[in-house]
Amino acid sequence: MQTDSSFTFVLFGGTGDLSMRKILPALFEAHRAGGMLADSGKIVAVARHAADRGEYLQWVNEHVKPHVSKNGVDEAAWASFLERIEFVKIDLGNPEDFTLLRDAVKDLPGIRVFYLATGPSLFVPICRALASVGLNENARIVLEKPLGYDLKSSNAINDAVGEIFAEEQIYRIDHYLGKEPVQNLLALRFGNALFEPLWRREWVESIQITIAEELGVEARGDFYDNTGALRDMVQNHLLQLLSIVAMEPPHSMDSDSVRDEKLRVLRALKPINQLDIGKVAVRGQYHSGVIRGNAVPAYATEPGVKQNSTTETFVALKVEIENWRWAGVPFFLRTGKRLADRVAEIVVNFRSVPHSALGASALRAGANRLVIRLQPNETIRLYCLAKQPGEGMNLASVHLDLAFDQFFREGQMEAYQRLLLDVINGRLALFVRRDEQEAAWRWVEPILNEWKASNKPPKPYASGTWGPAAASAMLAQHGTCWLEEEN
């Protein structure tokens, strides 16, 4: 992914947690790799918590450097990376300060990228301030999630930003779309004749998509208590992963071909009837428990969480897609905090053979399945049945592994690194288009409204477990269970 594209990358929220942990480390890795970033490219950090460039670079050395290069930091590469960085002290609440930014970037080269690593309440004011000094022309704007609280607020932000930037200038980022196994899911489906004939209702019994976290809300209690798991994870990450798993083959890998097919999936999601929400949607909230031998507190006692909060920290859903390929196949989505393990994976459960000529052991051994793991390790694993050594025809489950870190000698590219390079190079395929976002909100909103209207408390679950028992019961009704034993 080499480039000669010159750029000026303006990072709003330059001293924020996202900049510290993800954005600046990703830019450093691209810089260190050589050839991925044009030599003339500049990074302009915008913040108000540093006095000048020297103080900001000191902050970068202290806070960003520990998050880069797992195998140690190349000091020469780090020093040359710091030379790329400029700093502008701005009060984002004061539009007049943006003249300072205009003056700072007017002589810098290449395409301008504005990355808004800020709260969503600042998206529109920043965009308007950029337009007031002419910085919106021929530029690209990157918006982090959450983009709104519901469909109405999301549309309000998109309308306001859309008055300043054209749709092809807007990059709505979802970092899960940049993960290597998600890219390999596309390669697996559309680059191999083996899987495509099986990727349909005749051969697939069910599909699970899980994003589980061991962490609680940490220091984000106030934000999370006004958001919840459905808004924070399902409306974006999980539905985006579902759309990639279920989409039809695109005409090509250009941005609109891919996003058109994802949109068709989102529009084909079966609407959830208000009376059925209790059957197909489980919400939970973690109580105290033990994570890796350490006692952890209940959500209700976390700093920033309102007393008697009914905010969900766990969601499990049964989703159906009303189209020819997937009619009748349940998709089970699950996400939560303080669960038993940190894992993100897609599990495709294939149907059993129609008749077992090999006896009862074939049925006990289970059916074929494909497990696409996104984190913590990135692998694709295909489970098949094979004969156990010895007398008789006794079958057992075995697997074929594609472990990327072992198969490919070159290091894998982190999600943010890939996506930032795509922004710089003008590639939109892995970013969410407005109509995709609207379709996702439109499907999620009835669940949000019903939970708000009922005011029923979420089902409790102990920290360190896999969530409320109701989530397992929902799958048991379909003769299946969550895959939880993989490591």
Burial code of 138-158, b = ≥16 C-beta within 10 A, e = fewer? ebbbbbbbbbbbebeebbebb
Structure tokens given for 481: 């269970």
Q: Are strands 379-387 and 369-375 parallel, antiparallel or unpaired?
A: antiparallel
Strands (E), 64-133: 85-89, 111-116
Task: Give the count of alpha carbons within 13 A of 168, CB side only.
Answer: 8
CB of 89 closer than 8 Å to CB of 51: yes
Active site residue 237: yes
Amino acid letter, 301: T
Q: Which one, of 458, 445, 467, 444, lies nearest residue 234 by Cα?
A: 444
Give the 3-state secondary structure of residue 268: helix
Exactly one of 67, 237, 399, 478 is catalytic; which is it?
237
Whole-angstrom distance, CA of residue 64 vs CA of residue 51: 18
Structure tokens given for 304: 């920033």
Which contacts of 390-393 are long-range, i.e. CB under 8 A and separated by 24 or more positions? 393/358, 393/359, 393/361
Cis peptide before 66 (omega within 30 of 0): no
Q: Which one, of 265, 137, 287, lies nearest residue 209 by Cα?
A: 265
Query: Residue 273 pairs with which residues in a beta bridge?
Result: none
Whole-angstrom distance, CA of residue 160 vs CA of residue 167: 12
Longest dimension (CA), the chain: 82
Count of Cβ atoms closer than 10 Å to residue 182 Cβ: 21
Count of Cβ atoms closer than 10 Å to residue 465 Cβ: 17
Q: Which one, of 455, 60, 442, 474, lies nearest residue 270 by Cα?
A: 442
CA-CA distances (angstroms) from residue 260 to 190, 267, 320, 395?
16, 11, 19, 43
Count of Cβ atoms closer than 10 Å to residue 417 Cβ: 22
CB of 404 closer than 8 Å to CB of 378: yes
90 Cβ partners below 8 Å, 6+ apart?
A: 46, 47, 48, 97, 98, 100, 101
Q: Are strands 7-12 and 111-116 parallel, antiparallel or unpaired?
A: parallel
Catalytic residues, which ones? 237
